[in-house]
Chain A
């Protein structure tokens, strides 16, 4: 289970900070990536970033280095910071889990290339407004 938490309102130009607490599984597991996805009201999904237990972290290039994911393994949680926010960053923010491997049709344990988030938090709405 994943649960997002953080302020529901952020002022323009400030930094959005959210935390995802994971229960029932370790974020240090080699079996999964963990990530953030957002969805502006009435619009589609946008992936923000994902990380792997070995420190590998990838971000959506469209966010132009504004996003940063950090990890606290002692609390089994990870966080998102998004700097210099504008109204366009108003969205429901989700944290999710992405399996690194799957069994293909031949029964081989294979690395997945899809954005296959199989477990999601309920999402938290963050509004950017003064």
Chain B
């Protein structure tokens, strides 16, 4: 069982927006501004999309955004494109040089 809870699946229509949640506790998500999100296509290595809750690495489009409220972090993908269909994983610092991942969310673009 993963330390962070993500919905197993999410879907959105082309051109619309979708938000994926990542729920933890005050010992991880709620306690630190250290949440990251990864995108993973089948058979590929994960790609960093968001770090430090809302920072985007170079090359990640600005239609990808992250936020946090209390013990829940969120990833929003706006103006959905077919290439956004992938698995998404959240991660959070959990103190004492330990990090935890969520179980992953499969995003379907319809």
Residues of A within 8 A of B (CB): 37, 44-47, 58, 60-61, 94, 96, 102, 104, 112-118, 120-123
The residues of B that contact A60 with a CB separation of less than 8 Å are: 98-99
Contact with A along B21-38 (1 / 0, CB 8 A): 000000000001111101
7 A-B pairs with the lowest CB-CB distances in the bound complex, closest first: A113-B34, A116-B51, A120-B45, A58-B97, A114-B36, A114-B51, A115-B99
The residues of A that contact B51 with a CB separation of less than 8 Å are: 102, 112, 114, 116
Among B38, B45, B97, B98, the residue within 8 A (CB) of A121 is: B45
A112 engages B52 (CB within 8 Å):
yes
The residues of A that contact B7 with a CB separation of less than 8 Å are: none
Chain B's nearest CB lies how many Å from the CB of A72?
A: 23
Check A104/B97 contact, CB under 8 A, given A114-B91, A115-B91, A120-B46. Answer: no
B36 engages A115 (CB within 8 Å):
yes
Among B33, B47, B48, B89, the residue within 8 A (CB) of A44 is: B89
Assuming A113-B52, A115-B101, what are 13 further A-B pairs, CB within 8 angstroms? A44-B89, A44-B103, A45-B38, A45-B46, A45-B91, A102-B51, A102-B52, A113-B34, A113-B93, A114-B91, A116-B36, A116-B51, A121-B45
Contact with A along B46-82 (1 / 0, CB 8 A): 1110011001010000000000000000000000000
Residues of B within 8 A of A (CB): 2, 32-36, 38, 45-48, 51-52, 55, 57, 89, 91-93, 97-99, 101-104
Tell me whether chain A's interface is mostly helix, strand or loop, or mixed: loop
A122 engages B98 (CB within 8 Å):
no
The residues of B that contact A94 with a CB separation of less than 8 Å are: 45-46
Q: By CB atoms of chain B within 10 A, which of A60, A96, A114, A122 has the most?
A: A114
Check A114/B52 contact, CB under 8 A, given A44-B103, A44-B104, A120-B45. Answer: yes
- Residue on B with the closest CB to A58? B97
A47 engages B101 (CB within 8 Å):
yes
CA distance A121 to B46 in the complex (A): 10
